[in-house]
Amino acid sequence: MRPFEVKAHLAVGLAHAAPWATSLDGLLASEMWEDEKAAARDRGQYLEAAGPDEVPADLDLPLARCTLGGGDDWHWCATYAYPEDLADAPEIHHWSGRPDHRALEQLARYRPSVISDRQGRYRARQMPLLLTSTRTVLWRGVGDIDRVSATLALIDAIGKKRSQGEGQVLRWEVQPVDIDAWSAGHLHPNGHLGRLSPRICLQGRPTVETGGLGRGALRPPHMHRSRMREVCMPWTPQ
C-alpha cells in the first residue's frame, strides 16, 4: 500500500451528475462488482444488490482505509476525478426519458391500467447532465498499485452516459507519487479537498478549501442510504 496517482487520457471529456466527477473508489468498486456478478453467473448463481433495508457488504478494494472518522465512518483513501486542463465551466446538457409501456407489459405479470407520468418511480424525467471538457483527469489514492492498474485496464469509459459515447478513456497511467498518505487519500493536486470526508479528517488543517458541509455517501455503493453521512464536500472548479 503506497501513495499513487492515476491519470486517464480522455477522448473529449466526461459527463457527470454531481458537481464533482467520478470517484476512484466508486470506479474500482463498480468494476469489481460487475466481475463478481459475472463469476456468480458462471456458477449458475445470481448476485443481487443490497436492498434499501440491508447493509451492503464492502468489496475488497485494492485501497487503504482512512479510519479517522471512527467506527463505521471509515472511507477508502482515494479522491474524485480532477480535470487537469479544464477548458471551461462544465456545460449543462439535459436528457429526458419516459417508460416504454410496451416493454413494461412484456416484463411484468401485472401492469396497472395507468402509470403516472408525473409521479412515482416510473415518472417521465428531464435531468441535467454536466459535461466537463478535459483531455486528462487525475485521481490520487493509497493502495496496491498493481491491483489498481489491473482493474482500471478493464475500464474503457467513465462517468455518466457511457453508452452514448461520453467519457471514453484512451489510456490509463498509474504511478507512485512521493507525497504523504493523508494528502494522497484526501486532496486534489492543488491542495483542496478532493473527496467527501468526515469533518474529523480535516481537523487541524484549516487551510484546506472544501465545498462546504452537506450530506453524501462516504463510500460505495454511493446510492445506498446506509452510506449517507454529514460530511465535508469536495472543492469543485468553478
Contact footprint for Zn ion (CB under 5 A): 66, 68, 197, 201
Q: Which is nearer to Zn ion, 129 or 139 (CB)?
A: 139
- Around Cβ 190, how many Cβ atoms within 10 Å? 10
CA distance 155 to 142: 20
Q: Which is nearer to Zn ion, 67 or 164 (CB)?
A: 67
Smallest distance, Zn ion to C-beta of residue 144, A: 19
Question: Contact 213/233 with Cβ under 8 angstroms?
Answer: yes
CA atoms within 13 A on the CB side of 9: 5
Q: Which is nearer to Zn ion, 169 or 201 (CB)?
A: 201
Q: Which is nearer to Zn ion, 122 or 182 (CB)?
A: 182
Smallest distance, Zn ion to C-beta of residue 62, A: 18
Smallest distance, Zn ion to C-beta of residue 143, A: 14
Q: Which is nearer to Zn ion, 81 or 201 (CB)?
A: 201
Q: Which is nearer to Zn ion, 15 or 196 (CB)?
A: 196
Give residue 197's identity as a one-letter amino acid code: S
Smallest distance, Zn ion to C-beta of residue 32, A: 21
SS3 per residue for 1-64: CEEEEEEEEECCEEEECCCCCCEHHHHHHHHHHHHHHHHHHHCCCCCCCCCCCCCCCCCCCCEC
Contacts of 81 (CB under 8 A, 6+ apart): 8, 14, 20, 21, 22, 23, 24, 137, 138, 139, 158
Smallest distance, Zn ion to C-beta of residue 123, A: 37
Smallest distance, Zn ion to C-beta of residue 191, A: 16
Contacts of 96 (CB under 8 A, 6+ apart): 124, 125, 126, 127
